[in-house]
Structure 1
């Protein structure tokens, strides 16, 4: 018997057409979409299925869209016969909200409304065009942190997504990022790739967004997870004695410790990882962190059928 963890993607996984297949063939998925659409001030189904792509990329729209598709896939998987509770759950940034929904901490519609506000607050925290994010490839996290410290004289810049060995994302002001890229290349970075995002997410510049998000979360019922969920902030399970809202607030302006999170799940005995949601980015990261692990993705009915066939083995 192998222990299984379900993973949920974050912003950047979105694409036009995501979720259409499962919406058309699953009543449970349609219910998730319809309930989320009822609390959002835009046409969620139209945006997911038909775009436009430029709008779907915008933070305040991308976040509820990705979360809804992920939860719809999970509910459709259950509807199709999946009964086994995963050993653990984890999500990358926004994906942590999807994990908390599956764990019973948040209602799907509440989560969709919260992450819509989360996206808006994150975008508003730093004026458009004044900050961003860059993926640094080929250097370890410790070296990237040193580079950020040295580059901070030019402007705020921090290591914010510790994704896997040799892949660290930095975020900050434009001046800080420019200086950090120069230093990273001098240090032997294989590549420095600016990301198509509109703000320096998960950096300390997002603290105002986190503080305002606390007010949004105060109006939503958040229960303790019924299934262990790994926090991006601590790379450990949510503690049973603490209010989950505290970690969600800190998550906005803290690094995503993904490499440590997957390594922690491996230590807990997880051998099979299933990414539920659009894309398969997390599957690729898992294989780089734990080459011996088995990783699957579920983003349509074909992916669901593979996982359903797997249930007897886990």
Structure 2
């Protein structure tokens, strides 16, 4: 049996193409409990959001809707996963909440409570914003000098009066930056357009993983007790690349990281994938749904780690053709590769 690391996606992974994803959720009773919890909070149910005929950016990308939808899709794929031996779990940004549940550090219901609560708090306050900008070229080769140049620009802008800008997520070949309007606008004005779409603002996204979110972290700690958390049953890799081992992690420390550092400091997804590769050397990197937007970032992170000699997009594509190592469960043809 092949070994695998499970990767849970974050915000932005539930798009128009993902409508109907919950039709494959393997535990209808559990989904009904999620719906009942949201109904009790005066929120739209996940079933209603997922089954609507028309995708709405204003409706589906809201933090209080998107976070719960993404959590449920990722958890459902984890429950349905067969034919591999999971050796570790990680995630990107809010995917950390999904990863906690998939690794057993949160029950399915507790994980839903964390994801739904944090998504609601982010949406209610919506402090700052985010944008994406690439530092890798189209060949996906490492470009450390370009990355350093962009980060230096970020620090310089952040030092200006009334400007806030910081690295939110280190995402493979992409930098996700977050800050206030002045900081974001200054960066947009300072860099050349790339591929006709970058720098790209992310709608309904707050300044995740920056000190601007300290009030949200405090509200999260007030709303989410330590009793929700438990020791993980599988190793967990967080947004620093740190491994939480089942026999060593405690509910106190996990909650402290989840509702502290994870909210207010940079989320280094690249480091998480590097740790997953080097610490566990899995046969497969499996990306849970919804969608397939994380495939490029995972591949780029493996290239940056020089995993098994991968050094470019061409290297990765050749490896995928010969013997796939990254599988997105949101793609039916790749999901089928995991069936017994």
TM-score relative to the length of structure 1: 0.85
1:207 is displaced (CA, Å) by 0.9
Pairing 1:65–2:65 present:
no
Instruction: Name the structure 2 match of 1:117.
Output: 117
> 1:180/1:20 Cα in 2 relative to 1: closer, same or farther (>3 Å)?
closer
**Equivalences for 1:1-314 in 2 at 5 Å?**
3-16=3-16, 18=18, 20=20, 23=23, 28-41=26-39, 42-50=44-52, 52-53=55-56, 54-77=58-81, 82=82, 84-126=84-126, 131-138=128-135, 140-152=146-158, 153-154=160-161, 155-165=163-173, 167-185=174-192, 191-218=198-225, 220-232=227-239, 234-238=240-244, 240-242=248-250, 243-249=253-259, 250-268=261-279, 269-291=281-303, 292=310, 294-299=325-330, 303-309=334-340
Change in 2 beyond 3 A, CA 1:227/1:90:
same
Could you list the runs of 4 or more consecutive aligned residues of structure 1 that deviate by over 6 angstroms after TM superposition? Answer: none
User: TM-score, normalized by length of structure 2?
Assistant: 0.79
Structure 2 residue ranges without an equivalent (≥5): 137-145, 304-309, 311-315, 317-324
Give the number of equivalent residue pairs: 296
* CA distance in structure 2 between the partners assigned to 1:254 and 1:72 by the alignment: 29
Q: Deviations over 1:112-163 (max 9, x none)?
A: 2222210122234445xxx311112226443333112110214111011100
Larger displacement relative to structure 2 (278-287 or 294-303)? 294-303
Cα separation, 2, equivalents of 1:116 and 1:195: 20
Cα deviation, 1:242-296, whole Å, max 9, x if unaligned, reads 4211111121112110111111111111341011111112221121122447101
Give the whole-Å Cα distance in 1 for the aligned partners of 2:282 and 2:148: 26
Deviation at 1:177, TM superposition (A): 1.1
Give the secondary-structure state (helix, strand or coil) at the position aligned to 1:196: coil
- State the superposition RMSD in angstroms: 2.6
Write the deviation string for residues 17-69 of structure 1: whole angstroms up to 9, x where unpaired.
74736636x6x332331121121132210101216522111011110111011
Distance in 2 (CA, whole Å) between partners of 1:22 and 1:303 is: 18
Q: Where does residue 306 of structure 2 map in the other structure? A: none
